[in-house]
Amino acid sequence: MKAVEMASLQDSLSKFNKQQEKVQSMLTGISKAKAAYSQNASSNKSMPSTSSAPLNAKPPAQPIKFSNDTERLQHINSIRKAPVGAQIKRVIDLLYETRQAYTPDQINEACYVDMNANKAVFDSLRKNPKVNYDGKRFSYKSKHDLKDKNELLVLIRKFTEGIAVIDLKDAYPAVMDDLQSLKASGQIWLLSYFDSQEDIAFPNDPRAVIKVDDDLKQLFRGMELPCDMVDVEKDLHKNGMKPATNMTERRAAAQVHGIPPKPKTKKKHEISKRTKLTNAHLPELFQNLKGS
């Protein structure tokens, strides 16, 4: 039994010695390689560079800036941990500003919202009224699908009773500039109601048939205008408007110079079939139309 144990110990010791020799040989080889590398490096430094340098030599790699990469990863992490509503807004802003169609992977690359990993964001965007989803890509969906100023003018002319500017604001990026351009060229009006700050776009088309409510007609007919221009000017001032005339000063100047006011004679204008009618929506004004 003792002989067997001694033989086993002897065998283990022999294996250990062989491993030691192998390790020692490896260490010796490494030392020689280091010495050769140091000698070559020093000789290369002392020798001038020649055209015999290899053409495919690669430039030394730039050190990785871990601080910038860490900041980017922290930014991405903060976006993905943000509430669902904040992530949805970020995606809609991207779709609105670019007006391009994106896949979920492209959205992740563009604004770091990982829709594939966040089912709540994906489902909410798919059902959002401002987003169009064709099964593969997401894109912005405006209330009116317009591309340029010509299509904008065509749409406004369809709404003879006016269309709210707020419904046009997101049609395409330059829509507000085009509205001002159409207004400046006299093709549309931009008006607002007294109880609202939002503008209404009306077509400036003489061919358009505008419906006028009966209440407005009665109000128009029931208004009594003052006969004296001084009273007219006072009413204009009360409503914040500047009159084009100043009858008070004119009459005062006439009295100073002793000029009597000229009596005004009303000239009755007859209406014939050749008269250009501008109040066609009030037919009762033309019941006594004379033939010519």
Kindly report, residue by residue over 29-44, the tens digit of the pLDDT: 677 766 666 666 555 5
Most confident of 67-71, 122-126, 241-245: 122-126
Cut 0.85: pTM above it: no
Which tokens hold the place of 66?
Answer: 């871990």
Long-range contacts of 205-210 (CB under 8 A, 24+ apart): 205/157, 205/160, 208/157, 208/160, 209/160, 210/160, 210/161, 210/281
Residue 50: pLDDT band (50, 70, 90) is: very low
- Residue 51: its pLDDT value, please? 46
For the chain, where are the alpha helices, taking DSSP H only? 2-46, 66-80, 84-98, 104-111, 119-127, 149-158, 175-184, 214-222, 229-238, 247-256
The span from the CA of 59 to the CA of 66, in Å, is 21
Residue 146: pLDDT band (50, 70, 90) is: very high
Q: Which residues contact 270 (CB under 8 A, 6 or more apart)?
A: 290
- Mapping DSSP to helix (H, G, I), strand (E, B) and coil, where does residue 66 land? helix
pLDDT tens-digit profile of 84-94?
999 999 999 99
Most confident of 20-24, 46-50, 280-284: 20-24
Residue 221: pLDDT band (50, 70, 90) is: confident
Does residue 198 contact residue 204 with C-beta atoms inside 8 Å?
no
Going from the C-alpha of 213 to that of each of 210, 216, 220, the distances in angstroms are 10, 5, 11
Which of 50-59, 69-78, 226-235 is predicted least confidently? Answer: 50-59
Does residue 80 contact residue 111 with C-beta atoms inside 8 Å?
no
- Residue 261: its pLDDT value, please? 60
- Residue 242: its pLDDT value, please? 84
